């Protein structure tokens, strides 16, 4: 049995940056709040709860400094923190910030802003807030068919699938007079998706590790499933069912941007021992 871990599996630049900012602060001051879970990985969030980072869901609950996670926050959160004199450490990923700037810019130029992504995801909720008038969020070619606007300005959730993004943009071009597109899918996402799909094509079984609430992990699962029918999404090695590997000769492993390397290693070692 050959077991291969895909290139670029695990923590991305933005997540590592947020984690090291949190570590540095906790080391110096002992504890901090995180506005929403620092990353979409329940195991890491539980570890940090012990270390001294407590999750709050409302900025009104903060009576000590707050870490803004890599997904970013809506613009009014900054205003609330300033008006309440709440100190914050901004760990918004620079690529997310860049997408927010594009939304602002498109909106100021008079484009109707269309965001390709999941409207329930915190990153997308934050993007919406940077448009002057309400931005439209779509996530499929069918959604794009319903759009009808003169001048459309498009950005993407940073973890969107490249393939889906291109198809949706292609469809949008049929429903407007002018289309301006910023491809804001980050390189880490693109590289991870490319490596995962190449590995899925040559694997009998694919294991995708990451939080069930992690958008980029779910996207990886969809991509791998397309090429390898026996693709399974797990959070930890405990969820592995040994029967998945019956008659399998090649096993591929990949992991979302918020999956720490120790969880990937445990999964690898578990399968190796089978
Ligand atoms: Fe940033 Fe891309 Fe990671 S936007 S948080 S580097 S997935």
| CATH topology classification for 95-185 | Cobalt-precorrin-4 Transmethylase; domain 1 (3.40.1010)
Does the domain at residues 13-93 carry the CATH identifier 3.40.50.11270?
A: yes
Does the CB atom of residue 38 touch ligand 1 within 6 A? no
A 10 A CB-CB count for 165 gives 20
DSSP string covering 188-250? HHHHHHHHHHHHHHT-SEEEEES-TT-HHHHHHHHHHHHH-SSEEEESSGGG--GGGGTT--E
Strand partners, 154: 114, 181
Rounded-to-integer distance, Cα 217 and Cα 22, Å: 23
| CATH topology classification for 2-10+188-273 | Cobalt-precorrin-4 Transmethylase; domain 1 (3.40.1010)
Q: One fold for both 2-10+188-273 and 95-185?
A: yes
- At 146 the three-state DSSP class reads coil
Does the CB atom of residue 18 touch ligand 1 within 6 A? no
Active-site residue (options: 7, 49, 98, 123): 123
The predicted structure's pLDDT at residue 60: 84
Q: How many angstroms separate the alpha carbon of residue 174 from the centre of ligand 1?
A: 30
The predicted structure's pLDDT at residue 134: 85
- Token readout for 175 is 């429903």
Written in H, E and C, the secondary structure of 16-54 is HHHHHHHHHHHHHHCCEEEECCCCCCHHHHHHHHHHCEE
- Would you list the domain boundaries of the chain? 2-10+188-273, 13-93, 95-185
Strand partners, 83: none
Minimum-distance ligand 1 atom for the alpha carbon of 71: 5
Q: How many angstroms separate the alpha carbon of residue 14 from the centre of ligand 1?
A: 5
Q: How many angstroms separate the alpha carbon of residue 251 from the centre of ligand 1?
A: 26
Minimum-distance ligand 1 atom for the alpha carbon of 12: 3
The predicted structure's pLDDT at residue 35: 94
97, 188, 259, best to mutate for ligand 1 pocket (most atoms within 8 Å of CB):
188
Minimum-distance ligand 1 atom for the alpha carbon of 192: 7
19, 73, 95, best to mutate for ligand 1 pocket (most atoms within 8 Å of CB):
95
- Residue 24 is among the residues annotated as catalytic for this protein: no
pLDDT per residue rounded down to tens, the chain (274 residues):
899 999 999 999 999 999 999 999 999 999 999 999 998 888 889 999 999 999 999 998 888 899 999 999 999 999 999 999 999 999 999 999 999 999 999 999 999 999 999 999 999 999 999 998 889 999 999 999 999 999 999 999 999 989 999 999 999 999 999 999 999 999 999 999 999 999 999 999 999 999 998 888 999 999 999 999 999 999 999 999 999 999 999 999 999 998 999 999 999 999 999 8
Does the CB atom of residue 12 touch ligand 1 within 6 A? yes
**pTM value?**
0.89
Does the CB atom of residue 189 touch ligand 1 within 6 A? yes
Rounded-to-integer distance, Cα 72 and Cα 125, Å: 9
Among 236, 251, 144, which residue's Cα sits nearest to residue 199? 251
Does the CB atom of residue 70 touch ligand 1 within 6 A? yes
Q: How many angstroms separate the alpha carbon of residue 128 from the centre of ligand 1?
A: 18
The predicted structure's pLDDT at residue 63: 84
User: Which residue's CA lies nearest to atom 5 of ligand 1?
Assistant: 14
């Amino acid at each position: 049995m050959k077991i291969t871990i895909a290139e670029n599996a695990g923590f991305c630049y933005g997540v590592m940056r947020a984690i090291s900012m949190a570590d540095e602060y906790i080391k110096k001051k002992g504890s901090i709040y995180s506005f929403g879970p620092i990353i979409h990985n329940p195991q890491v969030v539980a570890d940090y709860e012990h270390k001294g980072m407590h999750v709050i869901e409302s900025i009104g609950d903060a009576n000590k400094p707050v870490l803004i996670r890599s997904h970013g926050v809506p613009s009014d959160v900054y205003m609330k923190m300033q008006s309440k004199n709440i100190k914050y450490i901004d760990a918004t990923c620079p690529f997310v910030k860049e997408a927010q700037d594009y939304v602002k810019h498109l909106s100021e130029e008079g484009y109707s802003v269309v965001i390709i992504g999941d409207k329930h995801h915190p990153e997308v909720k934050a993007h919406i807030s940077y448009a002057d008038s309400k931005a439209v969020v779509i996530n499929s070619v069918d959604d794009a068919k319903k759009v009808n606007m003169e001048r459309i300005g498009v950005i993407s959730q940073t973890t969107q699938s490249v393939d889906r993004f291109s198809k949706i943009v292609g469809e949008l071009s049929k429903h407007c007079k002018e289309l301006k597109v910023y491809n804001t899918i980050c390189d880490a996402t693109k590289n991870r998706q490319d490596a995962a799909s190449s590995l899925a094509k040559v694997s009998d079984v694919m294991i995708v590790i990451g939080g069930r609430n992690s958008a980029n992990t779910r996207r990886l699962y969809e991509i791998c499933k397309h090429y390898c029918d026996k693709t399974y999404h797990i959070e930890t090695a405990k969820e592995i069912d040994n029967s998945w590997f019956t008659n399998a000769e090649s096993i591929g492993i990949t992991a979302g941007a918020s999956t720490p390397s120790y969880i990937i290693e445990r999964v690898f070692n578990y399968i190796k021992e089978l």
